Amino acid sequence: MPESAAHWVPLAAIPVLLAVGSLAVLHWSRYLGAIGRLRRAQASPGTSPSTAPAPHTAAWLELRSAEHYRRAYRLTWAVAGVLAVGLGAAVLAD
């Protein structure tokens, strides 16, 4: 069992780190998926103007990929912050 409150901080950081990290991974994968769908829609071989994606579909994919990128970037920095706080508390506790 941890002896002081400072020992609890790294332990409490573990589930937070897992939750925030999994959200970051989720948004990075959604960002990459949206970019892939957009590229496939724009560069399909034999795409005629009638089968090309509608402008609003391409704009929607670009918007979604930008949203996922912003969320993933923010959550990645949150993971770094949780790691820094947890490691700092662990160092100070010893």
DSSP 2: -
pTM: 0.63
The 10s digit of each residue's pLDDT in 26-42 is 888 888 888 888 787 77
Report pLDDT for 14.
82
Distance CA 43, CA 35 (A): 12
Integer distance in angstroms from the first to the last C-alpha of the chain?
A: 14
The 10s digit of each residue's pLDDT in 60-88 is 778 888 888 888 888 889 888 888 887 88
Q: Which two tokens stand for residue 46?
A: 């034999």
